[in-house]
């Protein structure tokens, strides 16, 4: 009954393993594709192809990939906790964890590149804002026509400064979000690294226990063989002693009957 129960548990664990591994493989592929798209978008930043629409798309795909990475990390940790003694499953688990770490590293590299370019944009906007001078500080008198033109320029510059200020605030929010996401990815690396290390320690412990058990089995077999040999020798000794005793008794009886 107990053997049947253990077999059912092993079958259920294997079914869960297959389901999780397939989902993880699919997620890794999606993350890799998203990272490729993000990399192309990041390369278009600060070029003629740069636009607010491009940055919005980059932000959306970044947020989606970040969530997908977190979900996949949880799945991999769950996969590592599943019991399995099937060599193919163990190889699949190691392969998926390696592929995920590689893909996650590429994702973080793209995040850092996007954050750096956004920081450069912010510094550039701030520098331009600081360099804007007072349009009325022209020195000497200003005629009415020139004053009206200066006012229009001031209004245009004010509107442009307002737009730049809004972009500045938005990009500073993007920077904070990217930095938080990078920290989240660092935490994923840390948790996965700890899990993989512990998993490796467990495997080494199991291998050590198996090796120890094998050694004990060999030692026990040797002891059993030694005990069997000793038992055989003891049995032979008893037979010899019995034969000697029978011979002695026979001699004694012959002497007695002869007398």
Cα distance between residue 13 and residue 82, in whole Å: 6
DSSP secondary structure code for residue 141 in this structure: -
Cα distance between residue 152 and residue 130, in whole Å: 20
Q: What is the mean pLDDT of residues 193-212?
A: 58
Instruction: Give the alpha-carbon dihedral of 241, 247, 248, 252, to 10 degrees.
Output: 160
Residue 26 pLDDT > 80, yes or no?
Answer: yes
Q: What is the pLDDT of residues 175-195, one digit of tens each?
A: 888 888 888 888 887 888 887
Q: What is the mean pLDDT of residues 139-147?
A: 52
Q: How many other C-beta atoms can be found within 10 angstroms of the C-beta atom of residue 85? A: 10
What is the phi/psi pair of residue 244, to 5°? -60, -45
Q: What is the pLDDT of residues 106-119, one digit of tens each?
A: 999 999 999 898 88
Confidence (pLDDT) at 159: 61
pTM summary value: 0.62
Closest listed residue to residue 81, CA positions, set 168, 190, 198: 198
Q: What is the mean pLDDT of the chain?
A: 76
What DSSP line would sit under 2-56, residue for residue?
Answer: HHHHHHHHHHHHHHHHHHHHHHHHHHHHHHHHHHHHHHHHHHHTTSTT--HHHHH
H and E: helices and strands count for the chain: 4, 0
Q: Does residue 209 or residue 21 have the better pLDDT?
A: 21
Using an 8 Å Cβ cutoff, are 107 and 185 in contact?
yes
Q: What percent of the chain is modeled with pLDDT above 90?
A: 29
């Amino acid at each position: 009954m107990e053997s049947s129960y253990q077999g059912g548990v092993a079958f259920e664990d294997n079914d869960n393993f297959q389901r999780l591994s397939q989902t993880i493989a699919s997620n890794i592929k999606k993350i890799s594709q998203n990272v490729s798209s993000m990399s192309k978008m990041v390369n278009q930043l600060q070029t003629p192809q740069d636009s607010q629409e491009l940055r919005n798309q980059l932000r959306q795909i970044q947020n989606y990939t970040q969530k997908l990475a977190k979900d996949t990390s949880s799945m991999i940790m769950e996969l590592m906790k599943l019991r399995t003694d099937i060599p193919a499953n163990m190889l699949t688990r190691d392969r998926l964890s390696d592929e995920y770490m590689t893909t996650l590293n590429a994702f973080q590299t793209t995040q850092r590149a996007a954050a750096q370019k956004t920081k450069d944009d912010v510094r550039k906007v701030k520098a331009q804002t600081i360099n804007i001078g007072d349009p009325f500080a022209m020195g000497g008198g200003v005629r009415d026509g020139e004053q009206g033109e200066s006012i229009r320029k001031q209004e245009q510059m004010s509107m442009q400064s307002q737009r730049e200020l809004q972009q500045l605030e938005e990009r500073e929010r993007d920077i904070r979000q990217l930095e938080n996401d990078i920290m989240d990815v660092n935490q994923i690396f840390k948790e996965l690294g700890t899990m993989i290390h512990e998993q490796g320690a467990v495997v080494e412990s199991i291998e050590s226990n198996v090796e120890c058990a094998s050694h004990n089995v060999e030692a026990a077999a040797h002891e059993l063989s030694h005990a069997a040999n000793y038992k055989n020798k003891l049995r032979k000794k008893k037979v010899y002693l019995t034969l000697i005793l029978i011979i002695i008794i026979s001699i004694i009886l012959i002497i007695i009957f002869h007398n």
